[in-house]
Structure 1
Amino acid sequence: MPEPRLLNTGLALGLGLALLAGGAGFVLSRSLVVYSDFAAVSSALRLVRAPQGGIVSLPEIGLGSALRAGTPLALLEPVVPPQVLAEVEPQAQALAARVGQLRGELEQAEAGFENFRRRAKAGFDAAATHRQLAERQVMLQQRIQGRIATLARSAAATPMQADQLEVELLAQRRALADAVLAEVTARNLLEDAQAGRFVSDGRTTQRTPQEIRRELEAAEAARREMLGTLERLGTRITLTAPCDCQVAQLGATAGSFVAAGDPILGLAEPVMPDSVEVDALVDATRLGFLRQGQAVEVFLAGDAQATPGRVTSITYNPENQGRIGLPDNLRSLKSYGVLTVTLEGGVPQARPGLPALVKAPLALRQVFRSLPGMAWLVTERAGARPPEA
């Protein structure tokens, strides 16, 4: 069993070492900071791309030029690839030939259909006249038969004469029935003609003018669209500014050829004084000392006083995510990460690309976590709130 004096000495020594380590860590956390290697005020980048291939003409604008929404940016003189013309022009010629063919068919169909209507009307009129004549003949035969029947009863006419008249009446009634059927058929044919249908024996015999006209209208619409496409392919295009912004990148030079989708200009959206953001390059080995929400200090070029801010994001992949400020050749350095800081308070003179320096004091928690075997000292309980920097 150890002596009480040695036990007390050991406890005092351990407590002293713990206090010494804590004090050293506290002093270390206040004396060590993480500085950015390069930083600049950043904003969203909007690329103006070529809608199709062509030759670019640029007005007198350069890097840093302020633009208003709708300001002409560039003129694009389209260059139609030969393979496109080789495909589109024969189609336009084929549509033009089809339109001419359909117009001739329509002219013939309209003339033939007018003859068909006239024949149908004449046939119906003749059938109606024939039916009326047959009706009058039946009525006349019925009166004659009635008189002969009266004479036969008084022996003034023979029964044979009466029978002969009865046979003639039956024949005339059959003729009347045939005339009525012929009139019905002629009326149906006339109704088809008036409705715009070519019909013979109840069957459609050829296309009507309306059907040809619909096909002609569709062919003419396709031809107009094809010609419009050719015209648009060769029409000069004016590109305008999509926002109130500033020229940040020149992706093409005057007189150069750009393919469809190539960037012509890069525009930086204006920086709002109350929401200035700074992107900072920090060595990837030091990003582990920082955390989102941490308070930092930012020194803007030309300003001796530090501006407070907070870390809003930490990105280990430095590729450009549609922002302007940091040069792309620096963003592509794989040994760096990007620290995005939002400044607190208004900064009226901030502009995209304005150089800056970010100073991030190390928190005691980050210091202990970075030391081998010391992370257990700052392990947070579930729901515990991390201390402020």
Structure 2
Amino acid sequence: MISSVLPTYNRAPLSFVKGEGSWLIEADGRRFLDLGAGIAVNTLGHANPDLAQTLKDQADTLWHVSNLYKIPAQEKLADMLVDLTFADTCFFTNSGTEAAELAIKMARKYWYTKGQPDKIEIITFDGCFHGRSTGAIAASGAEKMVKGFGPLMPGFVHLPFGDHDALMAAVSDKTAAIMIEPIQGEGGIRVVPDQCLKGLRDLCDEKGILLIFDEVQCGVARTGKLFAHEYAAVTPDIMMIAKGIGGGFPLGAVLATEEAASGMTAGTHGSTYGGNPLGCAIGAKVLEIVSDPAFLAEVNRKASLMRQKLEGLVAAHPDVFESVRGQGLMLGLKCKVAPGDLVAKGYEAGILTVPAADNVVRLLPALNISDDDISDAVARIDAAAKAL
């Protein structure tokens, strides 16, 4: 008999009832150190007092009005994002998947309005993850995601990760855009080298095509810069964000240059809930906190501390771990064992981690995790490794 909750997840036998900073408390009272942060969502930890107060204040004032009207909280957050990034304009969504859908539409509509309706192809790369809508799974092309869902949206060209020759050969008169995650999350914390992002920007400029960055998982201070592409000193034409921007509240956005967004006129896109006052008030508070240079410096310091300890862990367990990868507090342990086995042993040790592709376990802690909790976390992963 099917459960009342559609069984599309293989859920761990854990039920959390409370969160405190980097800790989650199970219904039976057990405490777990959370290195998943809701899959890079809980930017400032659980029950953060600043975010809780912002939510309460806004909840007492106004929750939802729809985008039929001007929304001051939405305009405030959009202004902040424009001031802090390459973008000239923003559209707010409820999720990264919705942001991906708009990015795809925006790129294609751009060329349509330029009188080139045949420029519809978007180049993506193996291991990518852009969401689970039919458009987003078509963008990934991964068999495990697309199998059984019938005809998918055409117009995507899937290339091997890091194959420059294949990329050059794939660009054609039909190419509308290249879409890439500066750091693949679901794909196994695979960092695109700075020189490759620079090369993509140069190629797009040379060929006159759009560059789309998916920073849904790697953005919003996760890497120690506000956005991961800043390390390469390049900017996209379109960027998707979500996860961390809401600090746990469902919120996403598409950021774009005025030129890239020029086809998106009144009536071309919409969202009932996207950009509501409640979400945008929380998003503005998150952005205010994480964009502070002092906060970003602390993320980098903590990331260095955590990586140093993880390198020691890898050295201590050569039969379990191969290497540490990632940037900032978006880290991965490349394993020689099944990642799911390490995650399961972690439950026994009171530590929560997230499996990914390429035999990697993801470590995505709250960005304000304490030094003591970092030490505790590595000790618990060590215990999990010993138990394998």
Indicate the structure with greater helix content.
Answer: 1
TM-score, scaled to structure 2: 0.18
Task: State TM-score, norm by structure 1.
Answer: 0.18
Which has more strand, going by share of residues? 1
**Quick one: higher RCO (CA 8 Å, sep 6+), 1 or 2?**
1
- The structure whose Rg is larger is 1
